[in-house]
Amino acid sequence: MATRNADVLLLGCGNVGKSHILRYLRKITYGNDNNNNNNKFNNDMDKIPSLQSQSTVGVEIDVLRLNGIYNSTNKKRNIRVREVGSPMIPMWKVYSRDCFCLIYIIDSSNHTQITESTIEFLKILNQLPPNDTNFPILIVNNKIDCVNRLSEIEISNILCFNELKQNDKINLTYMETSFSNVNDGLKFGKLILNWIGNHI
């Protein structure tokens, strides 16, 4: 496999939850994933300044330590994740050509932003690594605990899922998540880690 500057590219418009999700992924992979004490998990997250959720203004690179349960090879792996903040949208195309898979986060409860999210996502599809086929893309519809969110059918129509799934250049997966509490954060964080481990 050719070397690229990041294994996973994490993108999304402002306030969709990128940093908050990455905070959970970090914490799960750094040792507490077998800890059933959610209060301790929550307290540990709050005590570690580097895991505090703040909006990303520029670019951040993180390393996730995936153990064998998160990938089909059953081997421990370090996965490099590059999170690019929404103020860097004009530069997304630069980073999207230098990764092995993309996680694109949307917030379907923000009806005014969903159009922008769709436009930027479709732009990114034209900038994926050249010559790649079956490029893994995970669309994460976050904040599904919000009552005014769009349905999966509505999201599918807006982002043209049916058409995109016919494109052999990409391998599209859709996931609905909520990271509003520790239980949900653990559950959905592990699902995302499983997806990462099985696609790179």
Residue-wise pLDDT for 75-118, tens only, equals 788 999 999 999 899 999 989 989 999 999 999 999 999 999 99
**35 alpha-carbon distance from chain centroid:** 23
Q: Give the chain's domain count.
A: 1
pLDDT for 103: 98
Decide if 132 is inside a domain: yes
pLDDT for 44: 55
Decide if 82 is inside a domain: yes
Pick the more confident residue, 18 or 43. Answer: 18
Per-residue confidence band for 48, with pLDDT thresholds at 50, 70 and 90: very low
Q: Side by side, which strands form the sheet with 8-12? A: 59-66, 77-84, 8-12, 101-107, 135-142, 170-176
Per-residue confidence band for 35, with pLDDT thresholds at 50, 70 and 90: very low
| Mean pLDDT of all residues in 32-36 | 47
54-59 contacts at long range (C-beta below 8 A, 24 or more positions apart): 54/19, 55/14, 55/15, 55/19, 55/85, 55/86, 56/18, 56/19, 56/83, 56/84, 56/85, 56/86, 57/85, 57/87, 58/84, 58/85, 58/87, 58/88, 59/83, 59/84, 59/85, 59/88, 59/95
pLDDT for 129: 87
Decide if 3 is inside a domain: no
pLDDT for 5: 84
Decide if 39 is inside a domain: yes
From the DSSP assignment, how many helices (H) and strands (E) are in the chain? 7, 6
> Does the pLDDT value for residue 147 go beyond 90?
no
Per-residue confidence band for 2, with pLDDT thresholds at 50, 70 and 90: low
Decide if 1 is inside a domain: no
pTM of the model: 0.87
CATH label of the domain that carries residue 68: 3.40.50.300
pLDDT for 33: 44
pLDDT for 54: 56
CA dihedral 103→149→121→80, nearest 10 degrees, is: -10
| Mean pLDDT of all residues in 161-170 | 92
Per-residue confidence band for 4, with pLDDT thresholds at 50, 70 and 90: confident
Decide if 2 is inside a domain: no
Q: How confident is the model over 109-136, as pLDDT tens digits? A: 999 999 999 999 999 999 998 888 999 9
- In which domain, by residue range, is 127 found? 8-199
| Mean pLDDT of all residues in 10-20 | 94
> Does the pLDDT value for residue 67 go beyond 90?
no
Residue (of 71, 69, 143) closest to 110 by Cα position: 143
**Cα-Cα end-to-end distance for the chain:** 10
